Amino acid sequence: MTDNKKFVIGSRGSKLSLAYSRYVKNLLLKSNPQFDDNSIDIKIIKTTGDIFKNKKISNIGGKGVFSKQIEDELLGSKINLAVHALKDLPSKMTDGLCINAVLKRNDPRDAFLSHISKSFFKLKSQSKVGTSSFRRKAQLNSLRNDINIIPMRGNIDTRITKLKNREFDAIVLSLAGLKMLNLENEAREVFTVDQMLPAIGQGAIALQCRKNDQKTLNIIKMVNDKESYYCIDAERALLEAIGGDCDTAVGGLAKLSNETIVLKSELFSNDGNKKFEVQCSGHFKEAKKIGYKAGKELLKKAGSDFKAQGN
């Protein structure tokens, strides 16, 4: 930068998180002439989700387990910018912070990986499929009810290693994460969004900073992808409306075309056996209203079959 102070990006320490942060760093270098390679540092910050790798997300707090410690560093001015996989963030923004930029969204779909089958639909009955996501578990069970869905935590490398060690017959991961790590060839099949509606914000990288940090706000404005930003706005409003978090069995995907956002969403009952679907659309400048409307309609359909954690 023009002064001698470093611009510090806060990141989780997983390979995927660091790949996201390095990608952001390179974009900032290209778009902001005040930077050179030595003026931006990446600081690794351990989150609760990273520390307690083998516990269920719901058992270690649910909301914010992959972001709270990074946000604390932001609020304490120890870092200038936080880079998150947007789907890891709680729906309600922490006071004093904001997400005013997201990068162009990567492919949001889910991928099937297996050492015994080229397709989820050709797996033998009672095969073991690993996932830590309530959403994926409910969706997979709705596609096939003869498969054993086994809880699985860990980063992408850890999960792929467990698969190759035959601890599971198959696993399901984000295609965007595989692509970021150049591991897309590991995927045997990619689910359509009709088969498995992605998690809210899946495939999107969020740039978070302090609301009053105009300098950083100006810097990240240069790399914001407006189409992705409006779509994410709608999806996160939906999540906030239902009081959900990254551990809620909800799927949502917004697409923007000719100034119109179309938001498809689905919510599963707490036992995962019932699915409720809503589609809403409107002008992209009303993205949040569209999301809130979809969320409220989902809650109305679900009734007593759904109750957000902590409520």
Catalytic residues: 88
Q: Are 106 and 176 in contact (CB under 8 A)?
A: yes
**Beta pairing, strands 81-85 & 205-210:** antiparallel
Q: What are phi and psi of 59, to 5 degrees?
A: -85, -10
Contacts of 233 (CB under 8 A, 6+ apart): 287, 288, 291
Rg (CA), the chain: 19
- Bridge partners for 170 per DSSP: 114, 129
Distance from the Cα of residue 187 to its chain's centroid: 19
Q: How many residues does the chain have?
A: 311
CA distance 93 to 99: 8
- DSSP state, residue 89: S
Instruction: Kindly report the backbone phi and psi dihedral angles of residue 114, in degrees, each rounded to the nearest multiple of 5, phi listed first.
Output: -160, 150
DSSP state of 92: S
Give 135-197 as a DSSP string.
HHHHHHHHH-SSSEEEE--S-HHHHHHHHHTTS-SEEEEEHHHHHHTT-GGG-SEE--TTTSP
Place of tokens 């919510």: 267
Dist CA 3 CA 185 (whole Å):
44
Q: Which amino acid is it at 13? A: G
Q: Which of 45, 74, 38, 36 is nearest to 216 (CA)?
A: 74
